[in-house]
Structure 1
Amino acid sequence: MVATTQQPARKQRRSTRWLNAIERLGNRLPDPFMLFVALAMIVLIASVIFAALGASVVLPATGEAQPIQSLVSSDGVRFILESMLTNFTGFAPLGLVLSMMLGIGLAEKIGLLDVLIRRTVMSAPRQLVTYTVAFTGIMMNVASDASLILLPPLAAMVYHGLGRHPVAGLALGFASAGAGFTANLLIVGTDALLSGISTEAARLVDPTMVVTPVDNWYFNCLSVVVLTVVAAQISERITEPRLGTYQGDVEKVESDEPANAGRGLRNAGIAALLYLGGLATLVFWPDSPLKNDDGGLIPSPFLSGIIPIILLFFIVVSVAYGVTTGKIKTSRDVSERMADAMRDLGGYIVLIFAASQFIAWFGWTHIGSWLAVNGAELLTSINFTGLPVIICYILFTGFMNLLIFSGSAKWALEAPIFVPLFMQLGYHPAFIQMAYRVADSSTNIISPLNPYMVVVLTFIRKYDREAGLGTLISLMLPYTLAFLGLWIVMLVGFYLLDLPFGPGIHALMP
């Protein structure tokens, strides 16, 4: 368990005892590497059984029948052997994590982050830091999945520097970035992606129907405010009291502030401004290559290339600081510090090898599609009307998120079924899309198929070597339950008060 102060059992709240029990139970699971191996074996066995029974699924969007494919077959064996390396090297989160940690790790190893935190955050009010981390995590989904690996370790460093439990900061960063993924004050790529799928599904009923990226904007803006407050309160009232005082000993690399650190920060700031200024000029330049063909930014090469843009930003400011302070004297120093950062990710790379095979096998067999479509048909057979069916749909999608992590893939499966169904009942497709988003987003952080859980667990083990999946799940559950519950209340409130979810968009169609 995470290092904490000892508290008398009689003083522990019921919720704390419940979360501790979940942590103990979860930590009895095998090591994450072996857990993914076991899950892969379960998929293999299930694929044989399903295929022997002749199971298949008809995709709602295309009408194409997909049989369940057995991994113990000629095609299955060839797939396992021929795709093993590409499953690993082509696993999207792997490249994202390694690339981001090259930049963040360089900034950490030369002492830039440590000095920056002590100079700018140590004096910040306690509550301001908590709310700032929560708000930043929710808003950072503009950078897509990068927020899930960028914020948690930085939030842990902030908390540790302030004398607070670093795991509490890490948990808050991951929860706000993951469970608050659908909320934002801006219109981001997720809005465009989901609305496009919703439009195609809605046109099965009404060929003129269009769901735009701004159709959920009002609801999302309010969600940012509500979730920021709720996440901060959970962190301060549940997570931190449960964790207690941090008693671990984390090795700090080059934590002594050099004499010319101030000048180094100044030069790093100048480099940051020059970089951002150049980037802004390139983005808004007429016919910029970072814009889409229509001259917009959603979607655009700028958003799809946000990871290398952030990586280069960290490298630029780190080199400026390192050269000024003498931490970087030759180009070799840059590569050596990056290599040091990569050594810290050795355990993560090993885990990803097993996780990538399991996820690839699960997709190839079509078991995930079979579960989603048949589960959806079962739900529709209940024949509910009004708010009960919407709430049941939210709970159903939250459960399906434990089996299919990709939000766009899951919506592509669900939208052709549920959007036409609910449109027949008089609901606007953008309202159904919003119901889907709150369910998908709030359960992201407890989905066993979430590849970033492995990343966060690696970060937690920096502060507690004994932490396991049970530790992470027990930390995330309060956020998931609170976010999901409050989002359902908000959705019901918008419905009953007939408030617009976006410009001119209400729950019921005119």
Structure 2
Amino acid sequence: MDRFLDRIERTGNRLPDPAMLFVYCLGLVLVLSALFSMFSFSYINPRTGEALQVANLIDADYLADLFASMVNTFTSFAPLGMVLASVMGVGIAESSGYINIALKKMVRVTPDKLLAPAVVFIGAVSSIATDAGYVLVIPIGAIIFKAAGRHPLAGLAAAFAGVSGGFSAGLLPSALDPLLQSFTQSAAQLFDPDYQMNPLANYYFTFCSTFLVTLMGWFVTERIVEPHLQSVEVSDEEGSVEDMSSYSAQENRAFTVSSLVLLGMGLALFALCLPETSPMRAADGSLTAFSSPLMRSIVPLIFIFFLTPGVIYGRMTGTFKNHRDVIGSMSGSMKTMSSYIVMAFFCSQFLKAFGDSNLGTLLALSGADLLQAMNLPGQVTIVGIVLLTAVVNLCVGSASAKWAIIGPIFVPMLMAVGISPELAQAAYRIGDSSSNIITPMMSYYPVIIVFTQRYVKNAGIGTVASMMMPYSIVFMIGWTAFLLLFWALGLPLGIGATYTYPIM
């Protein structure tokens, strides 16, 4: 296992930064467009209804337009505004301490017998705060297990499985929802320019998946991982570990007030949406239609619903002394997004060129012909997408980078054989989340090793991988089967989502 993971790590380290991947992909698209423009194809372009023709992008006029529109292409890139706005709101709630104490309180009220499922569950729920779970829930999981007389690495593994393995599960929408939706919609529009997709297109599935991940994590922790760890001796710690599960009376009071305000905001929004004449409804009275103000306000609502309790909590505890601290918190959250902004710049240029070239349409239609010739059931195709995503995740850790690369190819291809973008996105999320916990390319993997070494001094990648491999296998099999069950029963994936795309 160590040799295998070392080989994966060396291979992954040879890959360029995701931003440079898009630069290389852009260059490849330019070259391939010139090559394939010399051939004629029998396919009909679904956008125009005319014979498909690959456009030659190595053309003076096109290249001049590409450079002239480069800034506008970047600023109009759909994921950019959605992600940054969401992260600013979540960043305030996180830096104020509001999210941290919420997680602490959830852990403290849990009976000892339910520690394992509680830690996995809290880890999955913490995905709404992105990085908070890695730095808070995972070490707390180890501390709680050790205090209960159980192996601390079992608690660490359970928390890691919930936080990272269950990253695409959650009871509430997170910044990941509009991020992936925007990539999926852009990819779908390569095949159908008018296609629209709701940011919460997978919400019902991810909500239910929270409980599935909890049950699977509970089973793996108590039946596989914890018994295996009984032979792993816990090292004597030098000094005590910080008690991350405690909080003061002032913090408790601030959390109570902030949470009551958050609850009031939720009730006010519900009351606003309830009347048939509500301004949050679409013209036909629907709340869930993509055109409804409510659905178009998902990202601003995420921003406000995290910002408000975060500011109140910060003011009451002294974390935020004035408005400058609040703005500084927003600025701090943007610093962590600098690499994403750079990646988004190059990604937007690549997607524009890829769409203009018609190469994506050619790949989709030719791939659809291959899939139709193979005559595989749709369920088998979805399993293939899950497995492919897991393999790619071993070398490219960023969820958005992977989907930005493979989404424009597979989403249109699957649409051409009648599989909806919403279903393709759900399959991608399963493959990505299930393999997060075994890929050294995941940015927080070194942090997990450091947490592990608090209790086992000679722990390394192999130690973490041997703990997490059972979670990865069980999650991938169980979660994929759960998606196929959803499909078989016709249960809704999310708001406005379908399983099939009508083939014209």
1:281 paired residue number: 271
CA deviation digits over 1:263-299, x for unaligned, max 9?
2112212211221121111121331121223333222
Q: Report 1:2-151 matches (<5 A).
A: 14=1, 18-54=4-40, 57-60=43-46, 63-122=49-108, 124=110, 125-133=114-122, 136=125, 150-151=128-129
CA deviation digits over 1:129-169, x for unaligned, max 9?
344247648xxxxxxxxx7xx35323323223434788985
Alignment of 1:153 onto 2:140: no
Alignment of 1:266 onto 2:256: yes
The one-letter code matched in structure 1 to 2:254 is G
Contact 1:103 1:314 in 2 (8 A): yes
**CA-CA distance at 1:462 after TM superposition:** 7.7
Contact 2:108 2:245 in 1 (8 A): no
**CA-CA distance at 1:255 after TM superposition:** 11
1:394 paired residue number: 382
In 1: Cα distance, 2:382 partner to 2:342 partner: 35
Structure 1 483/54 Cα, relative in aligned 2: closer, same or farther at 3 Å? farther
**CA-CA distance at 1:77 after TM superposition:** 0.4
CA deviation digits over 1:87-145, x for unaligned, max 9?
322222222221122112112222323333333325645422344247648xxxxxxxx
Q: Aligned to 2:348, what secondary structure does the other structure show?
A: helix
Q: Report 1:249-398 matches (<5 A).
A: 260-299=250-289, 300-382=292-374, 384=375, 388-390=376-378, 392-394=380-382
2:490 paired residue number: 501
Q: Aligned to 1:67, what secondary structure does the other structure show?
A: coil
Structure 1 365/134 Cα, relative in aligned 2: closer, same or farther at 3 Å? farther
Contact 1:56 1:370 in 2 (8 A): no
Q: Aligned to 1:291, what secondary structure does the other structure show?
A: coil
Contact 1:69 1:76 in 2 (8 A): no
**CA-CA distance at 1:376 after TM superposition:** 1.1
Q: Which moved more, 1:255-264 or 1:74-83?
A: 255-264
In 2: Cα distance, 1:85 partner to 1:368 partner: 23
In 1: Cα distance, 2:326 partner to 2:17 partner: 34
**CA-CA distance at 1:308 after TM superposition:** 0.8
Q: Which moved more, 1:110-119 or 1:404-413?
A: 404-413
**Stretches of structure 2 lacking an aligned partner (at least 5 in a row):** 144-152, 172-180, 193-201, 390-401, 451-460, 493-497
In 2: Cα distance, 1:217 partner to 1:99 partner: 20
The one-letter code matched in structure 1 to 2:417 is F
Contact 1:179 1:443 in 2 (8 A): no
In 2: Cα distance, 1:482 partner to 1:38 partner: 36
| Corresponding residue pairs, total | 417
**CA-CA distance at 1:335 after TM superposition:** 1.1
**CA-CA distance at 1:83 after TM superposition:** 3.0
The one-letter code matched in structure 1 to 2:141 is L
**CA-CA distance at 1:374 after TM superposition:** 0.1
In 2: Cα distance, 1:310 partner to 1:37 partner: 32
CA deviation digits over 1:342-389, x for unaligned, max 9?
22322332232223322332222222221111011122224x4xxx54
In 2: Cα distance, 1:506 partner to 1:346 partner: 35
In 1: Cα distance, 2:388 partner to 2:363 partner: 8
Structure 1 99/457 Cα, relative in aligned 2: closer, same or farther at 3 Å? farther
The one-letter code matched in structure 2 to 1:154 is A
Q: What is the TM-score normalised by the length of structure 1?
A: 0.63
The one-letter code matched in structure 1 to 2:132 is L
In 2: Cα distance, 1:479 partner to 1:363 partner: 38
2:417 paired residue number: 418
Structure 1 78/170 Cα, relative in aligned 2: closer, same or farther at 3 Å? farther
Q: Aligned to 2:331, what secondary structure does the other structure show?
A: helix
Contact 1:258 1:325 in 2 (8 A): no
CA deviation digits over 1:375-426, x for unaligned, max 9?
11122224x4xxx5445543565689878779799666544x434xxxxxxx
In 2: Cα distance, 1:174 partner to 1:218 partner: 20
Structure 1 409/38 Cα, relative in aligned 2: closer, same or farther at 3 Å? closer
The one-letter code matched in structure 1 to 2:27 is M
2:199 paired residue number: none
Structure 1 85/218 Cα, relative in aligned 2: closer, same or farther at 3 Å? closer
Q: Aligned to 1:381, what secondary structure does the other structure show?
A: helix
Contact 1:134 1:173 in 2 (8 A): yes
**CA-CA distance at 1:73 after TM superposition:** 0.9
1:425 paired residue number: none
The one-letter code matched in structure 1 to 2:319 is K
In 2: Cα distance, 1:264 partner to 1:163 partner: 27
Q: Aligned to 2:131, what secondary structure does the other structure show?
A: helix
The one-letter code matched in structure 2 to 1:40 is L
Q: Equivalent pairs: percent with the same residue?
A: 28
Structure 1 482/433 Cα, relative in aligned 2: closer, same or farther at 3 Å? farther
In 1: Cα distance, 2:205 partner to 2:309 partner: 37
Q: Aligned to 2:31, what secondary structure does the other structure show?
A: helix
The one-letter code matched in structure 1 to 2:364 is A
In 2: Cα distance, 1:136 partner to 1:66 partner: 46
In 1: Cα distance, 2:207 partner to 2:322 partner: 47
In 1: Cα distance, 2:204 partner to 2:84 partner: 36
